[in-house]
Structure 1
Amino acid sequence: MRKRLAVALTTLAALVLTLVVVVPSASAATGLHVREGRLYEANGTEFVMRGVNHAHTWYPGETSSFANIKATGANTVRVVLSDGTRWTRNGGADVANVISLCKTNRLICVLEVHDTTGYGEQSGAASLAQATDYWLSSDIRAALAGQEDYVILNIGNEPFGNTGYQDWTAHSSQAIQRLRAGGYDHVLMVDAPNWGQDWSFTMRDNADRVYAADPTGNTMFSIHMYGVFDTAAEVSAYLAAFVDAGLPILVGEFGHDHSDGNPDEDAIFATAQQLRLGYLAWSWSGNGGGVEYLDMVTSFNPAQLTAWGQRAVNGANGIRATSREATVYGGGPGDTTPPTAPGAPTASDVTASSVRLSWTAATDNVGVTGYQVVRVAGGGETPAASSATTSATVTGLTASTAYTFAVYATDAAGNRSTRSATVNVTTTGGGGGSCAVTYKVAGQWQGGFHGDVTIRNTGASPVSGWSLRWSFADGQRISQMWNATPTQSGAQVTAANAGWNGTIASGGSASFGFIGSWTGANSAPTAFTLNGAACTVG
């Protein structure tokens, strides 16, 4: 999932381009198919992807993620696979199980080979020809046979870096023709070069040629939007160029931040909705290598949506508000009956910063697919947690504070129930508010530094379980932490206690350290909260 930006974008005027599409003679649709620049189901219903990327090949045991992704309201999951070039090969039995998990959870399945990432620049990356060999292997073909209603085949992830990308057109066309000759009738998806971001406009300027290489006309294009797409004008112009040309496109990956720049995620959500284009947020959980901030949930826990997860799922033009389930699963425009309201939630395991809520299941004529917990205050509502089951843990609360929660249910057609009855919860004191924090830079070098933090409990009661939060003013990033567990989303950092130091006695202290990076300046944070309550600094 590495992204690189080698050169600056050309002027916005260069985006104004007229593409001439050579339309192949399409064969009869056998499932999902492309028509006039849009994706349709076999019954002719337009399908707009709203979903999430999931790193299955690196976390094959996290199969519950499929249900948890569905609980966000998503209608699609893009699944990371490996052809064996760089990581352990996902064999036919595993791929068949992934498809089964998608179908069980009523998700359209986009399967992609990740080994091609950055080919030509990334050492050891697979070529599109190697990825095509994988799809044509007998066990994979058997797993995908007859799944045209449910599966889209994304040939290879980000198939060129910033070297050799001029070959993208020929290599993509050859891969498509080999897959069609090999008997695949599925919709094929082609990723852009330049680490998926197409800053060279190679895909934009040659998409018509690649599309024409498909004798069935069932190929669509995927752009990955990170630092290259940091303005609304760039987002809109790029996507509109495809729409105006009648070429099918979606945003196959994007995030709220990245090491190569700050993408305009609000513009991506809004423009995709305006143009009726799909988007797939990167990614559910398990990111590493310095991009942990792209996790939508913490440690694969659906009850712990990160700030990015909250934005993608519950924000304006987000997944929950705009996703509609594929009609192949029985939902769709014909079903307008909402589920019954869930039972009133009950609270347990109340701490200074979290509470576990449980409720009686809702019922529905099509099937309940998930629940959303909301915080009720001042006549309004704020999303608090999502769950595929009848319980969820709400985190990030403030100590000694009264809250009111309620629950909604969502069905397979996207209908939402009325709100459940509410429950009132008051968090415990937790020792927050009687604390002092010392922050110091113990060592600094060009681009990096070592930080030490000490929390002192100045209150009369022990702190049992702690979570310290602060914000960096200069874009610093934490790469390693000891004696605490870090979570970082943009400028905001949370350090939670390790298993052995969760209790801070009255008058006692807890310390942890970390390694971080900086550019330009490395000013110290000026404010800290412990379990939601402000601490003195110094």
Structure 2
Amino acid sequence: MATTTLARQRRSLRRIALAAFTAAALAAAGLFALTPAQAQPNGFHVVGSDLVDANGNVFIMRGSTHPYEWYRDRDQSISDMSDLGANTVRVVLGSGQQWGPTPAANVEAIIADCKANRVVCVLEVHDTTGYADTSAPNAASLDQAVDYWISIQDALEGEEAYVIVNIGNEPWGNANVAGWEPAMTAAVQRLRSAGFEHTLIADAPNWGQDWTNTMRDGQAAQRIFDADPLKNTVFSVHMYSVYAQPQTVIDYFDAFEAKGLPLIVGEFGEDTPTTIEAEAQARGIGWIAWSWSGNSGGSHDQVINFDPAQMRPWGERVFHGANGIGATAERASVFGDDPDPTTTEVPTSTEPTTAPAGDCSAVIVIVNDWGSGWQGNVRITADAAAVDGWTLRWTWSGATTVTSSWNAGLTQSGSTVTATDVGWNATVATGQTRDVFGFIGSSPAEAPEVTCSAA
């Protein structure tokens, strides 16, 4: 993507302002002093221990990871995860030391795909995995990761409301762990000096698991946060075997809560306790599960061969568990009522049945039918006036039932189904159509007439 004169000017002005601020702050106090309220107002920013979107609403990540750099042709993955209710997709990129580099044009396409599907894009450089360990001799340094981010900066410019930058995946191994803090500090400061205003994610050392408690205990995380002039850095721990016991999860969350710093679980796998999801929900902590598909031997795959119709038990837990994505995820408010100002997402599916006109109308869209079950999305149109709260009812003609659902309060009495909004998806603007929730049904697939009543 060519750099426009305007883009150069914007970045130049920001760098001048940031440099002036940095010099003044260092001279006055030896540290950066911006408050959280001064962080990027047009994008995601940190307030206290919360991640807040550009509209000022708290955003809690609930998502999975798309291994894009290794499977560039699997371009339906982001859409599939969104259809299952994910509000965030973490995307694997390569910086050129081990994989890639992922071209800027590809990154632009990924961002457009995320926006069209109303999911927040967390972009991460994977080449840094295990840096400093002899078992990862080709791993990129955080400095090399920053070189890559700067090389694709034009693709990220202006996307602060939709894109979060995960500087480097598991960017330090188990050797010389003390080196993690200065390397991460330098990476944050270089990105800010280059003009990046996005929320940044700093992964923990020890291959992300922080078993030495380098990030959890002491003041390392606070110093890194303070070194960010925008005070817009979120910390990420990866929970695998180190957190196999529920108490280890609770202890980590307790320790970080005491710091008052923003934390997410940037990865976790099927070998961990459901305490992660339960405690994260209770505390308002975001999480991103590893991973959608494509893992060697299938370990940690949520679906087989990138096919949402072939969901593994791990995927059922992530998407349909008691504290999974379907039950807890809320879209970022920056997406509003329309999936995208210029794009209308139309699933390749069976034509929906048209419902009678009224204060609102609704249809069931058959998104995917695999014989033994099927996925339906429910779409509401506000016909004559804006809708702020809705109740839907339909009756199956045969033996079909809803086996699981997400983003709706749903009850079944015999063959009749009643669904209500869950608050965040209650509104539909006048004349607009909005996908409001989804479900998995037993066979046979059908799309009966739906009655929609507005509150």
Q: TM-score, normalised by structure 2?
A: 0.72
Partners of 1:309 and 1:128 in 2: how far apart?
31
> Which residue pairs with 1:200 in the alignment?
212
> Which residue pairs with 1:297 in the alignment?
303
2:320 aligned with 1:306, yes or no?
no
Shift of 1:94: 0.6
Larger RCO of the pair (alpha carbons < 8 Å, separation 6+): 2
> Which residue pairs with 1:11 in the alignment?
none
Q: Which has the larger radius of gyration?
A: 1
More helix by share: 2
2:254 aligned with 1:244, yes or no?
no
Kept after mapping to 2: 8 A contact 1:406/1:422: no
Kept after mapping to 2: 8 A contact 1:341/1:417: no
| Counterpart selection for 2:167 from 155, 162, 166 | 155
Partners of 2:440 and 2:247 in 1: how far apart?
42
Kept after mapping to 2: 8 A contact 1:341/1:418: no
Partners of 1:118 and 1:306 in 2: how far apart?
28
2:143 aligned with 1:129, yes or no?
yes
Partners of 2:376 and 2:103 in 1: how far apart?
39
Partners of 2:142 and 2:367 in 1: how far apart?
53
| Counterpart selection for 1:25 from 35, 40, 46 | 35
> Which residue pairs with 2:92 in the alignment?
80
> Which residue pairs with 1:325 in the alignment?
331
> Which residue pairs with 1:466 in the alignment?
none
Partners of 2:438 and 2:131 in 1: how far apart?
50
Instruction: Tell me the amino acid that sits aligned with residue 404 of structure 2.
Output: P
> Which residue pairs with 2:362 in the alignment?
340
CA separation of 1:356 and 1:314: change in aligned 2, threshold 3 A: closer
Identity value in percent: 42
Aligned ranges for residues 135-214 of structure 1 at < 5 Å? 135-137=149-151, 140-205=152-217, 206-214=220-228
> Which residue pairs with 1:105 in the alignment?
117
Partners of 2:49 and 2:368 in 1: how far apart?
49
| Counterpart selection for 1:283 from 291, 315, 324 | 291
> Cα deviations across residues 484-507 of structure 1 (Å, max 9, x unaligned)?
xxxxxxxxxxxxxxxxxxxxxxxx
Shift of 1:301: 0.5
CA separation of 1:101 and 1:346: change in aligned 2, threshold 3 A: closer
2:424 aligned with 1:382, yes or no?
no
Shift of 1:417: 5.8
> Which residue pairs with 1:234 in the alignment?
248
Shift of 1:225: 0.3
> Cα deviations across residues 397-427 of structure 1 (Å, max 9, x unaligned)?
xxxxxxx9999899995465698998659xx
Shift of 1:25: 3.2
SS at match of 1:294: coil
> Cα deviations across residues 126-166 of structure 1 (Å, max 9, x unaligned)?
000000111111xx100000000000000000001111221
Aligned length in residues: 361
Shift of 1:49: 0.5
SS at match of 1:34: strand
2:379 aligned with 1:362, yes or no?
yes
SS at match of 2:242: coil
Instruction: Tell me the amino acid that sits aligned with residue 279 of structure 1.
Output: W
Instruction: Tell me the amino acid that sits aligned with residue 336 of structure 2.
Output: G
Partners of 1:202 and 1:326 in 2: how far apart?
31
Shift of 1:355: 3.3
SS at match of 2:106: helix
Shift of 1:176: 0.2
CA separation of 1:407 and 1:94: change in aligned 2, threshold 3 A: farther
TM-align CA RMSD? 3.6
Unaligned runs of 5+ in 2: 1-30, 339-358, 388-395, 407-414, 427-435, 446-455
More strand by share: 1
> Cα deviations across residues 360-406 of structure 1 (Å, max 9, x unaligned)?
97334599xxxxxxx9x99985339x9xxxxxxxxxxxxxxxxx999
CA separation of 1:55 and 1:414: change in aligned 2, threshold 3 A: farther
